[in-house]
Structure 1
Amino acid sequence: MTARRREDPLRRAVRLLDVPWRRVAGAVTLGALALGCAVGLAAVAAWLIARASQQPPVLVLSVAAVTVRAFGVGRGTLRYAERLVSHDVALRGVVSLRTTLYARLAAGRSEAVAALREGDLLARTGADADAVGDVVVRAFVPAGVAAAVSLLAVAIVGVLLPEAGAALLVLLLVVGVGAPWLADRAARETERRSVRARADMTAATLDVLGDAGPLAVSGALDARLDDLRRADRELVAATDVGARTSATSEAIQTAATGVAVVAALLLGVPAVASGRLSPEDLAVVVLTPLAAFEGVGALPAAAVQLRRSRAAAARIMALLDDAAPDPSAPAPVAVTPSDDGTALAAHDLACGWPSRPAPAVAGLDVTVPAGGSLAVVGPSGAGKTTLLLTLAGLLAPVGGRLERHAEASWTAEDAHLFDTTVLENLRVARGGVTEDEARDALAAVGLGPWAASLPDGLDTVVGPGGDAVSGGERRRLLVARALVSRAPVLVIDEPAEHLDPEGADAVVRMVLGLTAHGRTVVMATHHRGALDAADAVLSLDDAHAPAA
């Protein structure tokens, strides 16, 4: 584990892309040929213009004219082919990375995932995975193309005028090394400050988009919007930090291009006067550098992408390392049959997070019978969510004994409603859910009339990009998702949060009433108005909470 953590995270993440390096080499070759056509086009066009000014017979210019057309067509065609190949490699790599990421997280320590905010987890599996895949298209391929084309341009100019070729080589090295170095310095500081700002922005955006109505009712919407604005300001400030260095990097390229042209003139004019260089070749020596710098001009952006991809890879690999099974950790609680009709039983149970010294809940004795319901109440910070995660099997107990006699499904307070149909949102829990099963689950949580009123029925798209759903409808839909999972025990965290008191009581009664469908229900809530519907109520007071 320690050796893996010391290894470059980008190198580790790129291995998970399962990149076919032959195809990357093919993309570099196509890109070099495309940009080589640009260099050739500049050289041949310069010769053609200079030679045509001397009014030779037309046949003398015919080969050059056809060559210009060939280079012009070839540049666009080869660039398109390079984009097809490189993007295919990158997209397939991201699929491979995400597949591996999901598989390892599913098989690893669930507390590593449970400890992350939803926005942070989505950022790592979404934008960060894309950033690692982009390193192929936006860093590796441009670097290879720039190296190949720079050598080609230096060779063309060097054959005609060696000293001009040497000057071009020096200037290409200055731009190809100095500008990316400056860009990397700017990106280093920008990424350091913006990584957290992007995660905060994602989390705040999800809160505002997913719970705008309930947040407005509870009066918390303005605070969430302030969080979003603050994250945006931090992101803008982080970008501004590196702007000056990035501008210097761009200025170096522009200045070096001008210096190359002036150097070619200063070296070429005496060569023409002495007869070492023809006037037509002087045009080639002067104008070829203009195209040559197109290749190295992409290197600062490649350096920025490399820095961004390395930061994203560090976040992904840190998540995978945290989720990797720990041989020294206690074995997970196995599901064992029960002879007395018990679903869950805890004896002197202590629950907490491995990274925290004190348990959130300690000395807990509770038994939940199969088909019964347990409501867990207590102030914020008392350990309700930690206890539920432990009972659901997502956190290992830190003390005492836990007996689980049935599989459990977990529904978090901030569970995600995906931008897809109602049916597909339910199929997140079980892929084989039929339409009849979906309607039954929706009816069980009180959404039968709502589902019947949807314009496209179960095929209606909901979520951020679809039909708007109220806070109560959203939470009932998430409970329906848990219901179709077929898990005997439903563990549901704060199903009525951010709802008005009347709506909250209705949702709490609905959740506790799922025992009528043969399920065992364990629920945490702040709302105490409908607790008479629970078979048992567990209050987490200061006796169970760790000392401040």
Structure 2
Amino acid sequence: MAAAVAFGSLALGSAVALTALSAWLISRAAQHPSIVALSLAVVGVRALGIARGTFRYLERLASHDVALRVTARLRERLYVSLAAADRTVVAGLRHGDLLARIGPDGVLVGDVLVRGLLPFAVAGVVCAGAVTLVATLLPLAGVVLAGCLLVAATLSPWLAGVAARRAHRVADETSGRTSALALELLDHATELTVTGQVSQRLEALGRNEIARSDALDDAARPGAWAAATSSTATGAALVGCLVVGATAGRAGSLPPVVLAVVVLTPLAMVEVVASLPAAASAVARASAAAQRLWPLLTAPAITSRVSASVSVPDDDARLTARGLACGWPGRPPVVSGLDVDVVPGRVLSITGPSGCGKSTLLLTLAGLLPPVAGQVRLGDSALEDLEPHAVRRVVTFTAEDAHLFTTTLRENLLVARGDATDGELEFALRQVGLRSWRSGLSLGLDTMLEPGVVSGGERRRLLLARALLVGSRVLLLDEPAEHLDAASAEALMAELERLASSTGVAVAVVTHQPHPTSGGTLLLGSAGPAVQVRHGSPAVAGGAAPDPLEVEVGVRQQLDGERGGGRGGQVAAVQVARAAHGQG
């Protein structure tokens, strides 16, 4: 950073010195001296012109090197902090929020050195040098220049910072309302169309955007005053030095050649202070980003009741839960009274309407959310008694919105296991039905997964391939068949069944569409008890086992109710229950 400040000061200092020396050279040349008297100044002008560009290039190299290093270290700290953080911190982050913190927010904090702090440091050094030069030639002019530069370097950035903070606050307030209105239009388009309320919602969205635009205009006013203040202050410095210098010149205390230097040097300070409002805005944005990053960087570490005598079982990968209630900390449970069995060699499907708690249940089974009530056990040990990182090696959870990076296919798969060979990567792709897709890639595993290369269904299969590469004994998959056609979804579920039976892996799969699976089907719903049909013995959470026929009829009625627009409850296909009961 010191090198960047030094090179930046030399670059801007060369620009100011170039203006001052050029003023002296022009005014001195007007007196028609010998060329020898001007030769040194001519060489100096050329040297300063070259130095200005050279030092600016060196300043860019040094400052951006610092910024990139800081950004890389910040992201590394974020990854380390999130990896070691309490599991509720990671699980509580939405996919978009996490990307925003690691991406744009991290860049803003890293860039503050180049775009925020560096301009202020360089401006301070150069302003001090310019004031010293002018004060040496004419003390009163130095006082005038110092006062005007002080206004330009303090009041103008302060106003710009106020504008940036106001704009950020307005954007935060209005973007939430815009997102809520837009999501309401998208999620309830059918209902709004039937009731004739689409135009009303669109008008509300338009009014919100107009209000947002007006609020941003109001927030931008201090920024306009900042630009005006900077220009006015430097203009006042020029006029003030001209008046003071002319007065001294008429009194005979200031030579005409020196008068030109005193008057034109403030003109060069425009470039020095012009960058300060933008720098103040960058500091304000970085401060807001740092406030968002701070809770992640200081997230509490994982706490568990690990005992030295308790270890992750080597041979028993059965994941069970009894009397389980799931929910986010500080909120009511979304599901309760569940008895769940994820058995080695079998596939358990978890189905139900959107928002009924399927993903929350999966997070709880994975140990990423603490149970609200009840207990999850891996083998004979309670999950909270086991070392969390050791649990991760046995239990793999693949989220619905797990990220694919804009890099090669190989690197995206190696995220799961860095030492996997190309043969293992190819085998994982074949296991999830991506053989033909992989064959169509001209660069094979070196293909860049840019937008448009991977469809929604292919993305889900790649995430499943990544999960298989981990080699865990328990796989918890959140909607791996989403965005697949019916035939492809059935083929994928069949492949999971084959994988479970051949390797002994225990699999739990969240699906919207019911599938007959060897481990049974857990039927969740927005109302009523959850039903788990497992190997011919259905059970209602928290109650006695119902008659299989009643389960089938009740499920069919609720499924029909959902299709008809009703609230619905447990969702499952009748053939799932029949398959689980051995009825065909």
**Equivalences for residues 140-219 of structure 1 within 5 A:** 140-194=117-171
| Residues 388 and 200 (structure 1), Cα distance of their counterparts in 2 relative to 1, 3 Å cut | farther
Q: Secondary structure of the equivalent of 1:420?
A: coil
The structure that has the greater radius of gyration is 2
Q: Secondary structure of the equivalent of 1:461?
A: coil
Contact 1:120 1:200 (C-alpha < 8 Å) held by counterparts: no
Contact 1:120 1:202 (C-alpha < 8 Å) held by counterparts: no
Structure 1 match to 2:337: 363
| Counterpart residue identity of residue 535, structure 1 | G
Question: Can you give the 5+ residue segments of structure 1 that lack an aligned partner in the other structure?
Answer: 1-23, 208-222
Structure 2 match to 1:345: 320
Q: Secondary structure of the equivalent of 1:349?
A: strand
Number of positions where the alignment pairs a residue of Structure 1 with one of Structure 2: 497
Contact 1:494 1:524 (C-alpha < 8 Å) held by counterparts: yes
- Per the normalisation by structure 2, the TM-score is 0.79
Q: Secondary structure of the equivalent of 1:409?
A: strand
Structure 2 match to 1:483: 468
Structure 2 match to 1:402: 376
| Counterpart residue identity of residue 537, structure 1 | T
Contact 2:9 2:126 (C-alpha < 8 Å) held by counterparts: yes
| Residues 417 and 512 (structure 1), Cα distance of their counterparts in 2 relative to 1, 3 Å cut | farther
CA distance in 2, matches of 1:300, 1:487: 54
CA distance in 1, matches of 2:166, 2:5: 30
Contact 1:492 1:522 (C-alpha < 8 Å) held by counterparts: yes
Contact 1:359 1:398 (C-alpha < 8 Å) held by counterparts: yes
| Counterpart residue identity of residue 538, structure 1 | L
Q: Which moved more, 1:279-288 or 1:467-476?
A: 467-476
Q: Which moved more, 1:346-355 or 1:298-307?
A: 346-355
Contact 2:77 2:297 (C-alpha < 8 Å) held by counterparts: no
What's the offset of the Cα at 1:233?
A: 8.6
Cα-to-partner distance string for 1:83-131 (whole Å, 9 max, x where unaligned): 1111111111111111111011001122222222211100101111111
| Residues 141 and 60 (structure 1), Cα distance of their counterparts in 2 relative to 1, 3 Å cut | same
**Equivalences for residues 312-461 of structure 1 within 5 A:** 312-321=289-298, 323-325=299-301, 336-337=312-313, 341-356=316-331, 358-405=332-379, 407-461=394-448
* Mapped pair 1:522 → 2:508: yes
CA distance in 1, matches of 2:210, 2:99: 21
| Counterpart residue identity of residue 491, structure 1 | L
| Residues 92 and 452 (structure 1), Cα distance of their counterparts in 2 relative to 1, 3 Å cut | same
Cα-to-partner distance string for 1:441-499 (whole Å, 9 max, x where unaligned): 111111112212221122222232xx522222221111111111111111111123344
CA distance in 2, matches of 1:239, 1:517: 61
Contact 2:460 2:482 (C-alpha < 8 Å) held by counterparts: no
CA distance in 2, matches of 1:124, 1:195: 15
Contact 2:352 2:524 (C-alpha < 8 Å) held by counterparts: yes
| Residues 311 and 482 (structure 1), Cα distance of their counterparts in 2 relative to 1, 3 Å cut | same
What's the offset of the Cα at 1:241?
A: 4.3
Identity %: 49
| Residues 232 and 434 (structure 1), Cα distance of their counterparts in 2 relative to 1, 3 Å cut | farther
CA distance in 2, matches of 1:186, 1:435: 53
Structure 1 match to 2:520: 536
CA distance in 1, matches of 2:226, 2:113: 22
| Counterpart residue identity of residue 137, structure 1 | V
Cα-to-partner distance string for 1:51-109 (whole Å, 9 max, x where unaligned): 11111111111111111112111111111111111111111111111111101100112
Contact 1:351 1:397 (C-alpha < 8 Å) held by counterparts: yes
CA distance in 1, matches of 2:485, 2:169: 41
| Counterpart residue identity of residue 527, structure 1 | Q
**Equivalences for residues 239-258 of structure 1 within 5 A:** 240-258=217-235
Structure 1 match to 2:265: 288
* CA-based RMSD: 3.1
Contact 1:142 1:299 (C-alpha < 8 Å) held by counterparts: yes
Q: Which moved more, 1:384-393 or 1:24-33?
A: 24-33
| Residues 440 and 200 (structure 1), Cα distance of their counterparts in 2 relative to 1, 3 Å cut | farther
* Mapped pair 1:492 → 2:509: no
| Counterpart residue identity of residue 139, structure 1 | G
* Mapped pair 1:297 → 2:306: no
Contact 2:134 2:262 (C-alpha < 8 Å) held by counterparts: yes
Q: Secondary structure of the equivalent of 1:492?
A: strand
Structure 1 match to 2:564: none
CA distance in 2, matches of 1:484, 1:231: 47
CA distance in 1, matches of 2:424, 2:224: 59
What's the offset of the Cα at 1:196?
A: 7.4
CA distance in 2, matches of 1:238, 1:127: 23
CA distance in 2, matches of 1:456, 1:231: 47
What's the offset of the Cα at 1:296?
A: 2.1
| Counterpart residue identity of residue 445, structure 1 | V
| Counterpart residue identity of residue 112, structure 1 | V
Structure 2 match to 1:95: 72
Structure 1 match to 2:103: 126
Structure 2 match to 1:15: none
| Residues 525 and 326 (structure 1), Cα distance of their counterparts in 2 relative to 1, 3 Å cut | same
CA distance in 1, matches of 2:495, 2:208: 37
CA distance in 2, matches of 1:237, 1:499: 44
Q: Secondary structure of the equivalent of 1:365?
A: strand
What's the offset of the Cα at 1:319?
A: 2.6
CA distance in 2, matches of 1:502, 1:184: 57
| Residues 235 and 62 (structure 1), Cα distance of their counterparts in 2 relative to 1, 3 Å cut | farther
Question: Can you give the 5+ residue segments of structure 2 that lack an aligned partner in the other structure?
Answer: 184-197, 380-390, 531-540, 542-566, 568-584
| Residues 456 and 408 (structure 1), Cα distance of their counterparts in 2 relative to 1, 3 Å cut | same
Q: Which moved more, 1:255-264 or 1:425-434?
A: 255-264
| Residues 417 and 335 (structure 1), Cα distance of their counterparts in 2 relative to 1, 3 Å cut | farther
Contact 1:472 1:507 (C-alpha < 8 Å) held by counterparts: no
